[in-house]
Amino acid sequence: MAVSERRGLGRGSPAEWGPWLLLLLLLGGSSGRIHRLTLTGEKRADIQLNSFGFYTNGSLEVNLSLLRLGRQDTEEKAPLVGFSLTRVRSGSIRSYSNRDSHECPLRKNSSSLLVLFLINTKDLEVQVRKYGEQKKLFISAGLLPESPSKPGLPKSEHMVTPKVDHAGTTAAPDKAKSKPTGLQGDRQGVSGKDQELVLGLGHLNNSYNFSFHVVIGSRAEEGQYNLNFHNCDNSVPGREQPFDITVMIREKNPEGYLSAAEIPLFKLYMVMSACFLGAGIFWVSILCKNTYNVFKIHWLMAALTFTKSVSLLFHSINYYFINSQGHPIEGLAVMHYITHLLKGALLFITIALIGSGWAFVKYVLSDKEKKIFGIVIPLQVLANVAYIVMESREEGASDYGIWKEILFLVDLICCGTILFPVVWSIRHLQDASGTDGKVAVNLAKLKLFRHYYVMVICYIYFTRIIAILLRAVVPFQWQWLYQLLVEGSTLAFFVLTGYKFQPARDNPYLQLPQEDEEGMQIEQVMTDSGFREGLSKVNKTASGRELL
């Protein structure tokens, strides 16, 4: 999806990476669930094109408009290239993720549902081989008409079915004499044995082209399908030949262009956006009632909640237009990317600031705490850029896997880094509780910090580890529970954090440090930063608190 115009994210130093983010958005090649992928000089043996969850009457259309192989036409051996369509148990499990790197998926036999489209450039044909139990998986040449008589089902004149001999096996039909036999023809040749039909292959200007469509005809064929392209001649290292490919993929369910796991996301994100909005309004009302005990960090927490709500709102609207039109509205997609980036940065900054005690019990960060922010903020920007690139690029793009690994690694580093300020605060309170006379206050603060540490750990655990495991084990139509767990855990974390650090007089975290304790903190900060000379300690009274 190309974006022609994008608003800057700020001025000054934070905006220096704004043009780079704009450039990454302009690199996009995705347009929702109608995918268009163009690769030039590609050398990969396996290209993961897409994964989609189909319901009954769902359809997959593939139009290979250009395939130019880096081989000489004089070679006697035909190249082994083609597509594979595999049904898997989960969208996160690839059909050939554990195979040998030198094994060609186009040569494999399978007892599970597998369809191979073998491109024969010598005979200008595409052999379609079907494995596993496929009672009503209809495969035909060409694309579906714009307005079929029944949603998702092709018209009878477009059906191409294999001939069946008396032994129950199938033979390739005569392309010149084959006639459509309707939907009954596919039923006759299905008995668990291999199925094969032949599609025509076009040849023009040293390139090849063909198109086909697949219709899910019954509930037995429903599931998560992976569509991949294979060039087995490039499986051997050192013998790769570059090739060019241009392919259009259109996937659709009876209810729209969204995958089975994505259909509930429009309503889910809309409901969660309303929940975060309600939580933000309630939080602001608390701040207005307790003005005396409000700090800047409280308003930062409010800004985070509202930004999260707006981000989910734009995300929900994007899914609505993708489901109805096959692609999002570019302006709304850009707004979603902006709010998502701001939300991610605000989230980790707020967690780290609360953990360090900034604005609550001290107003200056130590050098090591500043280093944490110097690490977290750029990494969060990088993680959000990786997310935007993945959203705006096709899954089959050459750099898609790299950005996916960057997102996972950077997010993991950020989650571990934000724990350091909390650990340092706990150690500081443990040391202070045994050295000064304010044992009760310090122990109360220590207990609160320990609770917050457990909260952060649980938030990371549920939104990263548990969510990934859930996504890997649930059926394809329940994959949306992954997003429900992530958003529900985030909302619970926001609510608990607000409850623990609400502006109340009896909150131990918000109690002002006494003269001796504050003097020790300021002296420690000034000593670490090297600005101690020329400073004198001034007693602070309750009337000197910052009012917002």
What residues does each domain of the chain span?
Answer: 34-252, 265-528
Whether 472 shows a pLDDT value over 90: the answer reads no
Tokens 């969060």 map to which residue? 380
Whether 65 shows a pLDDT value over 90: the answer reads yes
- CA 450 and chain centroid, separation: 32
Query: Can you spell out the DSSP letters for 283-333?
Result: HHHHHHHTGGG--HHHHHHHHHHHHHHHHHHHHHHHHHHHHHHSS--HHHH
pLDDT tens per residue, range 361-395? 556 677 787 888 888 888 888 888 888 888 877 88
Higher local confidence (pLDDT), 86 or 388: 86
Whether 111 shows a pLDDT value over 70: the answer reads no
- How far is it between the farthest Cα atoms of the chain? 102
Higher local confidence (pLDDT), 430 or 133: 133
Q: Which long-range contacts (CB under 8 A, 24 or more apart) does 280-289 make?
A: 280/305, 280/306, 280/309, 283/498, 286/498, 286/502, 286/503, 287/503
Average pLDDT over residues 348-365: 74
pTM of the predicted model as reported, rounded to 2 decimal places: 0.75
State in words which class domain 34-252 has.
Answer: mainly beta
Q: Which of 139-153, 168-182, 233-247, 400-414 has the lowest mean pLDDT?
A: 168-182
The pLDDT of residue 330 is: 84
The pLDDT of residue 109 is: 66
The pLDDT of residue 396 is: 81
Q: How far apart are CA 100 and CA 108, in angstroms?
A: 12
The pLDDT of residue 278 is: 97
Whether 262 shows a pLDDT value over 80: the answer reads yes
Q: Percent of the chain scored above 90 by pLDDT?
A: 30
Whether 544 shows a pLDDT value over 60: the answer reads no
Average pLDDT over residues 201-207: 89
The pLDDT of residue 489 is: 95
Q: How far apart are CA 7 and CA 12, in angstroms?
A: 15
pLDDT tens per residue, range 326-347? 888 888 888 989 999 899 889 9
Higher local confidence (pLDDT), 520 or 339: 339
262 closest CA partner among 323, 336, 172, 311: 323
Given 1.10.1220, 1.20.1070, 1.10.3470, 3.20.20, which CATH number is that of 265-528? 1.20.1070
Higher local confidence (pLDDT), 28 or 498: 498
